[in-house]
Structure formats: C-alpha cells, structure tokens
C-alpha cells in the first residue's frame, strides 16, 4: 500500500491549461479582485488602473478576457461587487469605441439568461441583467445604436416580474435612458415598445415618472392627440385623474419616508400642472384635500411641506400669496409648534433651506416680500412659531427689506390677528377665554415684531441703509419711553396710530430691546470710508459711527432731545422730575463742550467721555433714580480731568496725581453694577483711556471689591438687594446680554414664551410646595429647633395635655373646651413655626441671589484689572496686584464649587499667570523699592511653605519668581550691545540688578531645604527647575544644597529629586559658563562622591521609589562622567565605577528596561560592555505544567469528590481478566493497530510530562475507572473468552 502511494505522488501530472485562455500576470488579475472589494476607493483605483493597463498594452486577448470577466461579475454574489463591475464595464466600453455594444448586450443576455439559470441564482441573474444595462447606459454610446436601446428596454421590461428583488430599479433605469436618447430614436424605436408602460403610468410613482419624463423630453411626439389615443385623455392632470394621482402621491410619500427627500415625480407633476394651467386643481384637490385633510400627520404632510418649499421659485406672486395663505402653511405652523417639544422630527431646517435658496435666486422684491410676510404669520395657539432671528433675511433685496420693515411696524401698531395662519383659532372658545387669548396674542406678536426688527439691524449681512437703521432705532425708542399725544410732521413716529394701546407688559421687552439695539449700533462696522472709498481688508474697521463720522448713540440722544422738547406731541411714559431733567440737560451741555474742545485740538479721552456721557444719559430713561447722582459726579470728574490735562501740557514739571481719577473709578464701579453689557464695554474703554492716571487709591478701590474678606462689608453697598429691583435687574440683564450679544438668538422659541413663563411659575409653586413638605417632614422627623420644642411643651403643659405616671392623667379626662383650647394653641404655634421656616427659606434664597449678583459684579470688575495689566504692565502699581490676586486664588480653592465661582476663579488665575507673571512687559524702575520688594519676596515664600495645596503653592512660587524678575530689571545697555556685536559669549550672565543675592539665595535655600527635608511639602521639583532656568545665578548659589541632599534627603523620593534637580542644573549652558574652570571640576568631583555614597546604600531595588531614585542617579552619573571625559577633568572615577560594578549583585533587571539600559550606558563609559546573552530555545517538556492549575469545566471541586478507596488485592487470574477487560469494549472485528493508535492518541493529549503528577491530576477519573475495574472483576466470564482476552492483552503489552 505504501508503494502505491509513492507511485501516485510521483506520477501526479500537472494540470494542463486549456487552449485559448491567455497566460495572465498577477498584476492584471488583481484588478478584477479589487473591483469586487467593498471599499469604494479601492474599486475606483482598480478601475482606473485597469483602463490604463489595457490602453498601454493594447492586447486584444486581454481586452476580450476583461470583457468576459466584467460581464461575469455583473451577477456577483457579493452586493458591493456588482456596481464595481458594472461601472468598470461601462468605462471600458466608453474608452474603447470599437467594441460593439450589441455584442456585449448579447453576451449579457446569454450569460445571465433568466430562463436557463438555476432557481437559487435567479436573483443574481436579474441583478446581472440590470447592471449590464446600466453599464451600457454609462458608456455614453447607447444613443448611437437605436437597436441596443430597444434591446436594453426590452430586457428591462422582462425584469418586471422580479420586482421583489429589483423593486423599481428597471423603471428608473428606463427613465434614465429616456433622458439620454434623442426624440427621433424615441419616436422610431421606443414608442411602440413602451406603450404598455406608458399606459399603466398610474400604477406606481416610477411608471408615472417615466410618462412625465417622456412628456417633458418628447413633446412633439406625445402631442395631446397622441396622448389621448394612448391613455384615453389629452391632459394628465384633470378632475378624473385626481384620485389616481393622489394614490400615486401617497405611494411616493411612503417610499421616501426614510430618505427625507422630495420624490422627483411630485415636483414634475407640479411643473406639469403649471404647464397645463391646472395648478389650482392639482393643489386644492390632490395636495390639500388628498394629502392633508384626509391623512394624519406623517409622510403625506411632510411631502406637502417639501413640495411647498420646492414650488416657491416656480410660482408667480399671485400664486405665492394664494399658496402661502392656505391650509399647507397652517398645517406647517402646527408642525413647527409641536416639533419643538422633545426629540420629534423637525422639518424646519429643510424649509429654511428652501426659503434660503428661493431668496438667493429671486431678484423680485415683491415675491420676496410675499414669502417673508407669509412665514411671519405662522402661529399656533396665538403665538408666532418662527424664531425672531432668521438668517434668510440677509438675502433680501434692499427694497424688500424696506417694505418688510414697514410691514413689521404696521403689525406692531395695528395687530391683525385675523391674518395669522393658526389652526387652533378655528376651535370654539368662551368669551372670557377669547379675550384673554387675544391679549396674550397681541403681546406676543408685538414682542416678536420688536425682536425681528432688532435682529434685522443686528445682522450685518442684511443690505440696509443708515436711514432704515435710524428709523428702526427711533421707532423702538419712541414706543419704549414715549406715547403719542398729538400727531406732528416733525416726529414721524407720532403719525402712526395704535389700534390697541400698549400695555405695561410690553414696556419691559421694548426697553431691553432698545438697549440691545444700542449695543448693536455700538458694534456696527463702517464698511466704507467716505474719504478712502472701499475699506481695505487689513485696515481696522471703525465701529459705532455713521458715514459722516458721528456716533450712533449721539444721533439717538439728539432724537431723545427732540421728543423731550415737544411735550405737546410726545408724552413721556414716566415723566422726568426737575432734577432728572436738569441732569439730562447738563449731560448735553458736557457733550457739547467736549465737541468744542475736540475742534480746538485733540484731547485725550474726549471721544470716550462723550460716549460715556451719552450712554449714561440714555440710561436715565431706564433708571433715573440710580443715575442722577452718578451723572453729577461724572460731570465734575470730566471737567477736572480736562483741566488737569491742559495744565500738564503747560506745566510738565508738576507730577501731582489728580484726585479726579479716584472718583472716576468709583463711578465706573457703580456703573458696572448695572445689568448692561453696553455699559460694561464702555466702562472698559473709559478705564483704558484713564489708565495712565490711575493712582494707588484707585487701584485699591478696585481690589477692595475683589477682596473676599470684604464681601460682607461692601457687598450691600455695591449691589442693591431689594427683591423687586433684584428681579427686575436679573430679567433685564438676561434680556440685555442675550439680545445684545447673540442678536436675540435666545428667543428661538418665542411662540411658547408665555407658556414657558406659566410653566416656570408652576415649577416655582411646586418648589415652594416641596419646601413646605420638607419643613413638615423635618417636624415629623423631630429635627426641629430647641426653641420650638420648648414652646410646644409650654402649650401642652398649660392645658394639662401631658400624661404623667404620678397623677395617671390621660387625654380622656379633658373636656371639650380644654380640647378646643389645646387645638387653638397648637394651630397658632405650628402656624408661627411655618412662617418662621418660610422666612428662613426666603432669607436663604435672598442670600444666595445676593452672592450670585456680587460674584457677577466681581467678574465685571475683573475687566478693569485685565485692562490695567494690558495697558500699564510696566507701572510700579502692578506690584500692588500680586498679594490680592493670590488671596483670591487661595480663598477660592477652599470655597464653594458652583459654576459661577469656578468661572471667576479660573479667570483670576488666568489673569495672574498669563498677564502678570508671564508678561514680557514688567516694572523695570523698582530701584527705590528694593527693601519693600525683598520683604514681599520673603513674605510670599514664607506663605508658600505654610500652604497645603500644591496648586495654590504653584501660584505663590510664580509670584516669587516675578518679584525676583522685577528686582533684577533689564540688563544694562552695554551688555546688550556686546551681545548683539560679539554674540552670546559676551553676555553678562552674572547680572542680577538690584537683587540682594545673599538674602534671596537664603530664601530659596530655605525653600529647597523644606522640599528635601519634609515628607509632605507643597513644593515640587518643577518649581525649582523654572527657578534655575530663569535665574542661573541663583541656581549656582543653590548647588551645594542640592548636592548635600543627594544623600541626606528625608526619603528616597527626595534623594531622587535631588539627583534630577542636579542634572537639570548642570545641563544649563548658563550654569556651565558661570562655573567654567576649577569650580566645574570641583562640582563634578563632589557630585561623583555623593553619587557613590548614595549608590552604596541601595539594597535590593524591588521598591518603585528605589528604582526611580536609582534611575535618576544613573542619569546624573552618565552626564557627569561624560562631562569629565569630554573636558578631560582631573577627577577620580574609580570609586563610582566600583560601586556601579557591585550593583549587579544586588539588583536584578527584570522588566525595567530603561533602568538596565541606563546602567549599561554608564558602564560603557568606563569601558565595560553589556554581556551578550545567548538565546536558547525553551524545553517544551520542562515547561509543561505539572498539573492542571485551572479548574476544568464539568469537574467537581476537591471537597466534593469521593475519597479514593483502596483497591482489593487481586489474584493473578483476576488481574489477567482485569487487563483483558480494558479491550472488551471494542468490537471483535475492529482493527487492532487502529485501536491502539487511537488509545495512544487520547492518552498522549491528556498525559502531563510527569507521570506521578499525571496520576494525581484527575482523581475523579481514576476513581471512576477503579469502580469499573471492580465491577468487571466481579463478573463471571466464560473460560474461552477469558483466555482470548488474556492473549489480546498480552499482545498489546
């Protein structure tokens, strides 16, 4: 048998390739493999390479082979491969024009014949035919051969019964073919073939799409007469076909449900209705009645909304007004209102894209206006649903913007609720409900109109003139603070009549909107300069002025004066008192004086003071009581400031600081308490202009506000905590910040604002109820105060309601009068306790709000500190900021962790670290303050060593380095000149300015000793590394201390840190230059001695800290030894070498690869190479486990196993029988050798290396076999069978 096998292996012939198949190389065949891969990029790359290869080689056999492979791949079982082969076939047919398309079509029909293919491959064959037609279509040559077009269409028609696999892809492919062929080919070849498909156009959306494409592409062939003969009617859209069209539209809506797109057949129907002049019929009956009214909210509604958006560019102005005021828009408004709640499907972004595309492509202002007005009228339950800020307005034509603004103003003056598109308005309600709903709707409409007007002005992309901007600002200002008393031609706003008077609720939003608009005007850029024409891109844009150079806010002040000067026409809603009117007039006078001084000559800060005067003056209309006194102080300060500036010009020798700056800073702090972002920006600008004149008193006033210790003292003075004013300020600040900074973007859900307010009120009530419940729960749990307990005991004792053991009294002995008196007393007591609990809760809420306001005020005051550091970083006053800012950081780390507190602390830390300590500009004239700065340094370092938080310690240490930098000052000019001329070698490295080296070195030496000698020190090695880098002279002074702690560190960790610091210090080039020569040699010798002593103490390096210390010591040793060798220093290296050689006996390099590499890198410097370790293959038998360590599945644990019993002593005959029993389980006719191999294989798999261990491995199995052996021994067997089995057993042994 083995001989036969050898003969077969020798005589096996190689497979002979049939003739006719060319020998292909691997590169060529890989193209087809890549075409079948799922990655699209790989397929496209393979297609490109295949065409390039075929063009380059130009081999006919390879081209034929490629066509065959591509045709075969059209029916590939892998879905991702079919499009790849189809695209490749189309591109090959397009690249090689000589290939006959008819031949390829015949190959496709023959290869993927649906009649002869197996049943399980019908689906693949159907896809093969479809993708084959797609390949012919993609070749771009199909229109050249009409017969191929006819063959493709007939093949697609035969695929119709396989709709369960292909769905509507064959019909869509026929539609694509119709879009490519000329009308002559359609009339001569395809018309007769497509009659059946065209006649059944109303069955599916795809078949209707085929008919619509044929009508659009071949109008001459499919004339009305031909259409009537073919379909039975000359027009597609008529009253008889509306039900059929509606069903087709519903099918299209369901098919596009997941894609969220408008099916092309729907838009083609709309275009056809416009062409056939049947748009009204189609829209009213097919869309509104068929898709909206008869269907619930779902795909049919969404299809109608998308069709509305797509139809905007196609409709005339009259059709737009008709459609946009109908049922579709009303249902869309309901959808927008309902989709705002929860995570529901929102169609609003799609509609916004439709409107945006329409406005971009439409140049007709009337049509644009019709669309904007219609969408502005969408409402639900009386509230407008569109957001006030809508970015599509930036594409309106200037004329359309003007007309739209006029319409908005008219809607504000004369609200027309009957024109709102609101489905809920059709529901019947009571008279009371209707009246209340009408008032709320008018309020919501007017507030929305004002927000929309502000958003138009705030959007700088909107094309608008300055007259329009001023008109909107005047309109909002007038209705916020004035009312019409008599019409006047001089005041345009008095000509508009209010059909419904303004209520008090609308005044607040109007005031907030006006000051938000004022901020927008303050930031409005001037795109064109009248003197220079177009603004250059690199030139800084001018903000807040008109073309003539006048401030926008000045124009508003002039308009306010016009209204105040004509009280017969315009009446102030809250008239000024004589004192307030005098403040207004004095403000105008001060602004006029500043303008006059500007004409005489440039006055520093004049424009800024004008802006501040005007802003405070306009805020007099909002809060006159708070700003009258501020206005008076401001006027006196500005007058004194201008006088002082004039005196400085005349008498420059006088250096006395003006006191007006202190008052001005107090005024700015008072203004910052106002909830206005505009005031905040102007205050920053004003403070920036007066920064050069700021005194220490002024800076102290700012720092006192930020001081945490003075919160309780000055908090009430800075911020008023009146409940009414507090709520008002909070609301105004929210409106001001949101509306001004984000252009009213926060009003996106303005339609539900009142509902949201009601919900908030309900939530507040619920919270109060919960608080009451909590109070009651506290009473029930017994967690009441001792005073209440005593009062309760008094009431009970007074009525003898407490039972005692002596008298044996009980509640049953009390009469009715006593019980009533007891109930009354208890009711009074608990009522008072509840009032006290509510008062405590209100006080707690009040304190929390107060803290929030104070913290917000402090965040604003930080603006002034930031401005001062930016403008006066070189002033000696900056040193006054160091300790207060550190105090704030230290207190903030241990205080509350709410978000506002974290933001405040984060900003303080950023200002301190980046704008103070890391600033390139610092005070360099501190020569007369040496003692004060040294004391400050000593104080800071003392505080640093007492801290427990390392994060705060880092800020204190940075402040100490900043003080040293100020003391050092700038290097002398001579040194700079030498540096530039001769390079860095001539730089005076030892320059330290006014630094007392001995005192400063002692300070940092104490800090270093604290770091090395304390187990829990807030200092870190990185702090000293920064010190060494910035001040190498101080680094040299500290080297002795570092060297000492290499061996005397309190812990192993500190000793390692000392090695690391020593390495960083010695690596600095400045330190090497300062210690060049004998000092460097002495330092290296000292360091090597300390390293040798430190390494001798290293025991077994099993601890992580010991390993880290050893690694850092080795790194330092490597650097020092290299330095000794490189500079050829006279330093003895033998002690270190001996210690290093002895380390191998106490250290085992296991997995610490870096430690081992560093050690041998040091030893290499001594000429000792790392020994090579020969790699030996591990002994598999020795590595085998002695026993199964893991518990095998299905085996009992040791505690559950039955104990092993002693085997009985068997007689020799029984032993022979037992041996024969081992083979009795096999069939008598089985092959002996086969059985033996099988048994050996099983035992070989389960037997461990050690036989003894193997016998103990599976005691369960052993006990099982023992039991089976005992059973077999007890059985009686025939003598012949026993003898036969004994022979078999003996033969196997």
What is the full DSSP assignment across 27-91? Answer: HHHHHHHHHTSS-HHHHHHHHHHHHHHHHHH--HHHHHHHHHHHHHHTT-SSTTHHHHHHHHHHH
DSSP 8-state assignment for residue 437: H
Q: What is the pLDDT of residue 865?
A: 92
Q: Which residue has the higher pLDDT, 737 or 987?
A: 987
Alpha helices per DSSP H over 782-879: 786-798, 816-871
- Going by C-alpha positions, the residue among 476, 529, 622 that lies closest to residue 468 is 476
Does residue 675 have a pLDDT over 80?
yes
Report whether 315 contacts 323 (CB < 8 A).
yes
Q: Which residue has the higher pLDDT, 219 or 1059?
A: 1059
- For the segment 122-132, what is each residue's pLDDT rounded down to a tens digit? 888 888 888 88
Which pair of tokens denotes residue 586? 């004095």
Q: What is the pLDDT of residue 812?
A: 52
- For the segment 161-182, what is each residue's pLDDT rounded down to a tens digit? 776 677 778 887 888 888 888 8
Does residue 1106 have a pLDDT over 60?
yes
Does residue 752 have a pLDDT over 70?
no
Question: Stretch 278-300: mean pLDDT, rounded?
Answer: 87
Phi then psi for residue 572, to 5 deg, are: -70, 135
What is the full DSSP assignment across 773-804? Answer: HHHHHHHHHT---HHHHHHHHHHHHHTT-S--
For residue 430, the Cα-to-chain-centroid distance in whole angstroms is 48
Q: Which region holds residue 21: left if phi is over 0, alpha if psi is between -120 and 50, else beta?
A: beta
Q: What is the pLDDT of residue 1221?
A: 41
Q: What is the pLDDT of residue 1009?
A: 94
Does residue 430 have a pLDDT over 90?
no
Half-sphere exposure of residue 1188, counting CA atoms within 13 Å on the CB side? Answer: 16
C-alpha dihedral sign at 1219, 1224, 1230, 1234: negative
DSSP 8-state assignment for residue 420: S
Confidence of residue 861 (pLDDT cuts 50, 70, 90): very high
Confidence of residue 40 (pLDDT cuts 50, 70, 90): confident
Does residue 905 have a pLDDT over 70?
yes
Percentage of the chain surpassing pLDDT 70? 75
Beta bridge partners of 378: 421
Q: What is the pLDDT of residue 1277?
A: 42
Q: Average per-residue pLDDT in the chain?
A: 78
Extended beta strands in 270-418, E state = 379-380, 383-384
Q: What is the pLDDT of residue 645?
A: 57
Q: What is the pLDDT of residue 965?
A: 92
- For the segment 1202-1218, what is each residue's pLDDT rounded down to a tens digit? 655 554 444 443 333 33
Question: Stretch 13-24: mean pLDDT, rounded?
Answer: 44
Report whether 956 contacts 940 (CB < 8 A).
yes
> Averaging pLDDT over each range in 224-228, 744-748, 1056-1060, which range is the top one?
1056-1060
Q: What is the pLDDT of residue 785?
A: 67
Does residue 650 have a pLDDT over 80?
no
From 500-504, 714-718, 1201-1205, the region with the lowest mean pLDDT: 714-718
- For the segment 46-94, what is each residue's pLDDT rounded down to a tens digit? 888 888 888 888 888 888 888 888 888 888 888 888 888 888 888 888 8
Report whether 923 contacts 942 (CB < 8 A).
no
Confidence of residue 1173 (pLDDT cuts 50, 70, 90): low
- For the segment 731-742, what is each residue's pLDDT rounded down to a tens digit? 444 444 444 434
Does residue 1262 have a pLDDT over 50?
no
- For the segment 346-400, what is each residue's pLDDT rounded down to a tens digit? 888 899 999 999 999 999 999 999 999 999 999 988 889 999 999 999 999 999 9
Confidence of residue 512 (pLDDT cuts 50, 70, 90): very high
C-alpha dihedral sign at 643, 644, 648, 650: positive
Question: Stretch 33-40: mean pLDDT, rounded?
Answer: 86
Q: Is the pTM of this model over 0.85?
A: no
How many CB atoms sit inside 10 A of residue 573's CB?
14
Which pair of tokens denotes residue 730? 């909070």
CA distances from 1039 to 1024, 1111, 1133 (A): 12, 20, 21
Q: d(Cα 1066, Cα 1069) in Å, to the nearest integer?
A: 8
Confidence of residue 562 (pLDDT cuts 50, 70, 90): very high
Question: Stretch 583-609: mean pLDDT, rounded?
Answer: 82
What is the full DSSP assignment across 559-608? Answer: HHHHHHH-TTTEEESSPPPHHHHHHHHHHHHHHHHHHHHHHHS--TTHHH
Q: What is the pLDDT of residue 973?
A: 55
Which pair of tokens denotes residue 183? 């009308």
Q: What is the pLDDT of residue 1200?
A: 64
SS3 per-residue string spanning 1215-1239: HHHHHHHCCCCCCCCCCHHHHHHHH
Q: What is the pLDDT of residue 1223?
A: 38
- For the segment 147-163, what is each residue's pLDDT rounded down to a tens digit? 888 888 888 878 877 76
Q: What is the pLDDT of residue 536?
A: 45
Report whether 369 contacts 400 (CB < 8 A).
yes
Q: Are strands 379-380 and 383-384 parallel, antiparallel or unpaired?
A: antiparallel
Q: What is the pLDDT of residue 727?
A: 44
Q: What is the pLDDT of residue 945?
A: 92
Measured at the CA of 1125, the angle between CA 1121 and CA 1129, to 5 degrees, comes to 95
Q: What is the pLDDT of residue 771?
A: 46
From 17-26, 674-683, 1022-1031, 1100-1109, the region with the lowest mean pLDDT: 17-26
Which pair of tokens denotes residue 143? 């229109």
Q: d(Cα 1265, Cα 1222) in Å, to the nearest integer?
A: 10
Which pair of tokens denotes residue 1039? 């080297």
Does residue 488 have a pLDDT over 90?
no
Does residue 1290 have a pLDDT over 70?
no
């Amino acid at each position: 048998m083995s001989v036969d096998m050898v003969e077969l292996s020798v005589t096996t012939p190689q497979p002979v390739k049939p003739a006719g198949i060319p020998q292909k190389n691997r590169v060529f065949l890989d193209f087809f493999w890549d075409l079948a891969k799922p990655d699209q990029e790989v397929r496209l790359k393979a297609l490109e390479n295949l065409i390039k290869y075929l063009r380059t080689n130009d081999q006919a056999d390879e081209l034929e082979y490629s066509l065959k492979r591509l045709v075969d791949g059209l029916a590939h079982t892998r879905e991702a491969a079919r499009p790849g082969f189809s695209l490749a076939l189309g591109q090959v047919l397009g690249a090689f024009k000589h290939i006959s398309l008819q031949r390829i079509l015949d190959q496709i029909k023959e290869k993927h014949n649906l009649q002869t293919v197996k049943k399980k491959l019908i689906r693949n064959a159907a896809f093969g035919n479809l993708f084959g037609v797609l390949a012919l279509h993609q070749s771009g040559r199909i229109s050249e051969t009409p017969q191929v077009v006819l063959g493709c269409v007939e093949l697609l028609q035969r695929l119709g019964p396989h709709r369960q696999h292909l769905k509507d892809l064959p019909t869509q492919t026929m539609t694509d073919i119709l879009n490519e062929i000329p009308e002559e080919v359609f009339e001569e070849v395809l018309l007769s073939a497509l009659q059946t498909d065209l006649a059944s156009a109303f069955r599916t959306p795809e078949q209707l799409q085929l008919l619509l494409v044929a009508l659009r592409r071949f109008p001459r062939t499919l004339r009305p007469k031909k259409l009537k003969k073919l379909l039975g009617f000359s027009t597609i859209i008529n009253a008889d076909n509306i039900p059929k069209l509606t069903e087709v539209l519903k099918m299209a809506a369901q098919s596009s449900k997941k894609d969220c797109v408008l099916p092309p057949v729907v838009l083609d129907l709309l275009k056809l209705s416009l062409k056939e002049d049947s748009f009204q019929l189609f829209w009213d009956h097919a869309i509104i009645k068929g898709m909206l009214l008869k269907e619930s909210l779902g795909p049919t509604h969404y299809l109608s909304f998308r069709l509305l958006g797509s139809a905007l560019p196609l409709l005339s102005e009259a059709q737009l007004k008709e459609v946009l005021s109908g049922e579709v828009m009303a249902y869309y408004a309901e959808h927008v209102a309902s989709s705002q709640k929860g995570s529901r499907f929102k169609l609003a972004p799609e509609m916004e894209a439709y409107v945006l595309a329409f406005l971009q492509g439409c140049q007709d202002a009337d049509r644009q206006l019709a669309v904007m007005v219609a969408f502005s009228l969408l409402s639900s339950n009386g509230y407008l649903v569109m957001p006030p800020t809508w970015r599509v307005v930036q594409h309106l034509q200037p004329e359309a913007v003007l007309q739209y603004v006029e319409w908005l103003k008219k809607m504000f003056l004369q609200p027309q609720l009957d024109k709102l598109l609101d489905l809920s308005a059709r529901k019947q309600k009571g008279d009371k409900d209707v009246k209340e709903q009408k008032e709320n709707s008018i309020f919501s409409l007017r507030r929305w109109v004002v927000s929309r007007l502000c958003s138009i002005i705030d959007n700088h992309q909107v094309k608008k003139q300055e007259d329009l901007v001023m008109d909107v600002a005047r309109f909002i200002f007038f209705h916020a603070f004035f009312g019409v008393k008599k019409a006047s031609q001089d005041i345009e706003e008095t000509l508009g009549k209010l059909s419904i008077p303004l209520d008090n609720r609308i005044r607040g939003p109007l005031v907030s909107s006006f000051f938000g608009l004022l901020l927008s005007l303050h930031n409005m850029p001037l795109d064109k300069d009248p003197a220079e024409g177009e603004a250059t891109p690199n030139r800084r844009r001018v903000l807040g002025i008109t073309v003539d150079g006048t401030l926008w806010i000045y124009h508003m002040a002039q308009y306010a004066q016009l209204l105040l000067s004509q009280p017969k026409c315009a009446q102030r809603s809250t008239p000024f008192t004589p004192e307030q009117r005098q403040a207004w007039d004095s403000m105008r006078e001060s602004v006029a004086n500043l303008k006059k001084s500007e004409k005489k000559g440039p006055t520093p800060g004049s424009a800024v003071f004008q802006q501040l005067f005007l802003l405070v003056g306009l805020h007099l209309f909002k809060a006159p009581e708070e700003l009258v006194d501020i206005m008076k102080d401001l006027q006196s300060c500005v007058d004194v400031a201008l006088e002082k500036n004039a005196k400085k010009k005349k008498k420059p020798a006088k250096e006395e600081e003006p006191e007006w700056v202190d008052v001005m800073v107090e005024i700015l702090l008072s203004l910052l308490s106002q909830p206005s972002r505009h005031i905040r920006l102007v205050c920053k600008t004003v403070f920036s202009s007066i920064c050069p004149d700021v005194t220490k008193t002024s800076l102290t006033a700012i720092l006192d506000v930020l001081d945490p210790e003075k919160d309780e003292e000055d908090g009430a003075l800075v911020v008023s905590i009146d409940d009414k004013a507090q709520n008002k300020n909070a609301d105004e600040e929210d409106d001001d910040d949101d509306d001004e900074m984000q252009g009213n973007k926060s009003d996106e859900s303005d339609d539900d604002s009142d509902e949201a307010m009601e919900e908030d009120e309900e939530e507040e009530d619920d919270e109060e109820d919960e608080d009451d419940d909590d109070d009651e729960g506290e009473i029930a749990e017994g967690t009441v105060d001792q005073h209440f307990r005593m009062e309760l005991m008094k009431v009970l004792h007074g009525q003898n309601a407490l039972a005692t053991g002596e008298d044996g009294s009980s509640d049953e002995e009390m009469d009715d009068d006593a019980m009533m008196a007891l109930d009354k007393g208890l009711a009074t007591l608990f009522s008072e306790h509840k009032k006290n609990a509510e008062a405590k809760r209100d006080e707690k809420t009040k304190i929390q709000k107060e803290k929030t306001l104070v913290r917000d005020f402090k965040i604003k005051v930080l603006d002034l500190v930031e401005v001062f550091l930016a403008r006066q970083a070189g002033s000696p006053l900056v040193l006054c900021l160091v300790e207060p800012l550190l105090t704030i950081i230290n207190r903030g780390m241990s205080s509350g962790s709410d978000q506002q507190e974290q933001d405040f602390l984060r900003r303080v830390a950023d200002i301190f670290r980046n704008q103070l300590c890391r600033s390139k500009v610092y005070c360099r004239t501190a020569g007369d303050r040496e003692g004060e700065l040294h004391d400050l340094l000593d104080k800071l370092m003392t505080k640093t060593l007492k801290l427990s938080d390392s994060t705060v310690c880092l800020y204190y240490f940075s402040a100490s380095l900043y003080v040293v930098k100020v003391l050092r000052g700038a290097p002398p000019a001579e040194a700079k000149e030498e540096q530039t001329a001769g390079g860095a070698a001539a730089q005076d490295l030892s320059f330290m300015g006014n630094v007392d080296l001995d005192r400063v070195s002692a300070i940092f030496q104490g800090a270093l000793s604290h770091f090395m000698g304390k187990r829990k020190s807030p200092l870190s090695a990185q702090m000293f590394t920064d010190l060494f880098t910035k001040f190498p002279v101080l680094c040299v002074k500290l080297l002795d201390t570092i060297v000492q702690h290499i061996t005397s560190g309190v812990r192993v960790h500190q000793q390692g840190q000392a090695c690391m610091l020593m390495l960083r210090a010695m690596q600095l080039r400045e330190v090497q230059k300062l210690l060049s020569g004998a000092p460097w040699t002495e330092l290296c010798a000292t360091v090597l001695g300390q390293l040798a002593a430190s390494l001798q103490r290293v025991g077994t390096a099993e601890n992580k800290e010991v390993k880290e210390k050893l690694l850092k010591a080795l790194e330092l040793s490597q650097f020092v030894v290299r330095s000794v060798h490189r500079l050829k220093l006279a330093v003895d290296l033998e002690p270190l070498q001996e210690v290093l050689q002895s380390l191998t006996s106490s250290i085992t390099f296991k997995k610490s690869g870096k430690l081992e590499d560093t050690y041998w890198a040091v030893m290499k410097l001594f000429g000792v190479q790392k020994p090579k370790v020969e790699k030996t293959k591990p002994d598999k038998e020795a590595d085998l486990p002695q026993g199964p360590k893991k518990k095998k599945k299905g085996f009992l644990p040791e505690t559950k196993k039955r104990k092993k019993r002693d085997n009985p002593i068997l007689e020799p005959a029984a032993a022979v029988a037992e041996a024969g029993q081992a083979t009795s389980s096999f069939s008598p006719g089985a092959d002996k050798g086969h059985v033996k191999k099988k048994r050996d294989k099983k035992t070989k798999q389960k037997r461990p290396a050690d036989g003894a261990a193997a016998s103990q491995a599976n005691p369960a199995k052993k006990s099982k076999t023992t039991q089976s052996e005992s059973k077999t021994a007890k059985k009686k067997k025939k003598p012949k069978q026993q003898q036969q089995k004994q022979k078999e057993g003996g033969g196997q042994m």
